Structure 1
C-alpha cells in the first residue's frame, strides 16, 4: 500500500494517495470501487503510468483504507457529498475525474449535481447506469444476508479463492501478480470487519420501491460535461448494454470497449491510461473552458 496523506474531512479521518506534478490544469481525481478495494488497489498501475504527466489524487472512499466510514447505511448521494467536502478541503474548485464502478457513479453524480466542479469525466465499469442489481432478486437477498461475508472470509483466507473470483473482473486471472492477490486478501480481511459495501447496498436498497437509489439513467441526458465511458465487454456486474445506453443518452459522450470484466484499470492498465490521457489532453472546447456556473479556472 502506498503512503497516504491524511486529514479530517467532514469530521472524519480521510486518507488519499497523491502523485505527479502540479500543473496548469485541474488534477485528475481517481475514485475506486466498492467491496474489495481502496485507492491504489484498482488505480495503482494507472497512477504509475500517468504520474509523470499530471497531478493525481486517489482518495480512500468512506469505509475503505485509511478513511473512516459513515457508521450507518449510506447511498451514492452520501458518497458524492463526502467527495465535495474532500475537494473543498484540498482547495480544488474544478477537477478531471475518473471513477471505477461505485466511483464511476460518484463521478457521474458529481458532474450532474455540480457541473461547475468537473471539466471532464471518465466513468469506468460505472455504477448508476441501471436501476437493478445483476441477478436482481438473488442479489437483493444476498445483500440483506450475513451470508455475503463468506465471500470476504474466503478471499482473505485463500489466494485460490481470490483468483476464482477474479474471473468476473479480469480476462486472465492467472496472470494477476502475486502482490496484487496478496493486497486483495488484505482488503478482504479488512472489509470482513468493516462491511462498508454492505452499508452502501443497505442505503441503496432503502425505500419502498424496487429500484436502486443511485440509478442515474433518467438524469443522464442532462449531463453537460464531456464524458468518456470505458467498459469491459464481458462485465457481469454492469453488463455492457447499460454503458451503451448511457453513452447514447448523453450528448457527445464516447464509449471505449475493452476485452475485460469489471476491473479494466487492473486488467488493461496501459490501454486505460492511454484512453484517459488522450481524452484529457484533447483540444479544449467551449464547454471545457467554462462549465455552467463557473468562471474559467
Structure 2
C-alpha cells in the first residue's frame, strides 16, 4: 500500500536489524538539535501520529520519524514487544543516521519508549517530550478491568490475527475515540489509520507490546519508581480528557522528576499532537531552544 506522507516530509528506508526501517524526514533540515519522533500503538505509524507536527517542526531541526517494527512500512524486522528493546533499537537507528543526540518525542506507547531511551541511553537524549505516555501506571484501571486486559493479552497470535482483521474494519470509527473533538482529525489520518487496520498482521505488534507490558496483577515494567533517574530535561504533555491513558500517571511522574515539566491541555483527548498540535508545538519549542543552547 502507498502510505501517508505528512506535508513537507520525505521517505527513506534504513537497513537495520536485518530489515528495512521506513523513516520519514523533514524535506529541509536546519542546524538545530535533531528530533526523533516515536509513534504510538494500535494501527499507528509515523505518518499518522506526526502528520501535523513533522512539518511544523522542520526546517529548524533535522526531524526523523521511524515506523517501528510491525508498524507501517517497516519490513523484515520481527515485532518487538519490549519497550526497552524498542528503545535500544532506536538508539541503533540514531547511530545509523549519524545522530549523536536528539530531542526524543513520543506519544502513548512511543512515550513509554522515549522515557526508556532516556533511561537506557542518556548520552543519546538531549531532552524528552512524552505525550500521553504509557508505562506510568501500575495497572489498567480497576482490578477487574486489569484482569480482563491481561486475559486479552494471553490470546495466541493464531487466534488474535483473525480477530484483529475483524477489528481493523472498524479502525476508522475507533480512531475518532482518541480525541475529544473528532472533527479535529485530518481526514487523511482517519483514512490511513483505517487502511493500516486492514493491512495483513495489523495489531499484532501492539499486541506484543501489551503482552509484555500487562501482567496478571499489574504492570511489571512500569516506570513510576524509575522516572526519577531520568537526567534529561523532560516535558510531559497530557490531555485532561484522555480516555485511554490516565493523566494521573503523568502527574505522578512529573512530581518525582527533578527536571520535568507537565503541561495539561483542557478539552483534549489522547492524541494531543493531532487534536491540539498548535498548543503542543508551543510547548515543545522552548524544549528545542534549550537543547540548542546546551549544545
Superposition TM-score, scaled by structure 1 size: 0.86
Which stretch shifts more, 15-24 or 223-232?
A: 15-24
Q: Among residues 163, 185, 193, which one is paired with 2:194 in the alignment?
A: 185
Structure 2 equivalent of residue 130 of structure 1: 137
Q: Is the 8 A contact 1:163 1:174 kept in 2?
A: no
1:49 deviates by: 1.5
Gaps of at least 5 residues in structure 1 are: 290-296
| Residue 142 (str. 1) matches residue 149 (str. 2) | no
SS at match of 1:198: helix
SS at match of 2:43: coil
Inter-CA distance 37–213: structure 2 relative to 1 (3 Å threshold): same
Superposition TM-score, scaled by structure 2 size: 0.86
1:213 deviates by: 4.2
Q: Is the 8 A contact 1:105 1:214 kept in 2?
A: no
| Residue 255 (str. 1) matches residue 262 (str. 2) | yes
Q: Is the 8 A contact 1:153 1:188 kept in 2?
A: no
1:226 deviates by: 0.5
1:196 deviates by: 1.1
SS at match of 1:25: coil
CA distance in 1, matches of 2:167, 2:207: 16
Structure 1, residues 65-89: CA drift from partner, whole Å, max 9, x if none? Answer: 1213653662111111111111111
Q: Among residues 158, 161, 166, which one is paired with 2:176 in the alignment?
A: 166
| Residue 119 (str. 1) matches residue 126 (str. 2) | yes
Residue-pair matches, total: 281
SS at match of 1:30: strand
Gaps of at least 5 residues in structure 2 are: none
SS at match of 1:4: strand
CA distance in 2, matches of 1:73, 1:219: 22
Q: Among residues 231, 240, 243, which one is paired with 1:233 in the alignment?
A: 240
